[in-house]
Structure 1
Amino acid sequence: MATITYIYLKYIPLGTTLNDLSIKYTSKNFFSGRDPIWTEAINTVMQNGKFWTGLGNNVQYGSFDGYLHNLYVQVFYQSGFIGLLLIGFLLVSISYTISKAPKIDFEFKVLLAYFIAILFLQIFEGHLIYKLEIISVLSWIIIALLINKSSHADLFKTQSGNVNSPLTTFKKPARSDFT
Structure 2
Amino acid sequence: MMFIFVYPQLPYWKYFPYFENLMLEYTGKSIMSGRDDIWRPVIAAINEQPWFGYGPGTLPIDVTGIDLSTHNLYLQIALQNGYLGLLVFIILLLYFWIIFYRNLKDKTVRLVASFFIAILIHQSFEIALTQNQLSIGLMQWFIISVGISQVMYLNENHRPQ
Same fold (TM over 0.5): yes
1:162 is aligned to none
Q: Distance in 2 between matches of 1:112 and 1:102?
A: 8
Choose the corresponding residue for 1:71, options 73, 84, 106. Answer: 73
The offset of 1:29, in angstroms, is 2.6
Larger Rg: 1
1:36–1:147 distance in 2 versus 1, CA, 3 Å: same
Partner of 1:53: 52
Cα distance per residue 1:81-108 (max 9 Å; x no partner): 1111111111111111111106243x43
Partner of 1:80: 82
Choose 69-78 or 128-137, whichever is displaced more.
128-137
For residue 112 of structure 2, what is the aligned residue in structure 1?
111
| CA root-mean-square deviation | 2.7
1:3-152 aligned at under 5 Å gives the runs 3-12=4-13, 19=20, 22-23=23-24, 26-47=27-48, 50-62=49-61, 63-64=66-67, 67-101=69-103, 103-105=105-107, 107-152=108-153
Give the unaligned 5+ runs of structure 1: 160-179
Q: How far off is 1:30 after superposition?
A: 3.1
Contact 1:102 1:150 in 2 (8 A): no
Identity %: 29
Query: Does the CA-based 8 Å contact 1:99-1:150 persist in structure 2?
Result: no
Return 29-38 or 11-20, whichever deviates more. Answer: 11-20
TM-score (norm 1): 0.72
Q: Kindly indicate which of the two structures has a greater share of residues assigned to helix.
A: 2
Instruction: Kindly indicate whether the alpha-carbon contact (under 8 Å) linking 1:70 and 1:125 is maintained by their aligned counterparts in 2.
Output: yes
User: How far 1:15 moved relative to its partner?
Assistant: 5.9
TM-score (norm 2): 0.79
For residue 26 of structure 1, report the CA deviation from its aligned partner. 4.1
Deviates more, 1:92-101 or 1:1-10: 1-10
Matched to 2:125, the amino acid is F
**Is residue 56–residue 79 contact of structure 1 (8 Å, CA) maintained in 2?**
yes
**Distance in 2 between residues matched to 1:117 and 1:87, nearest whole Å:** 17
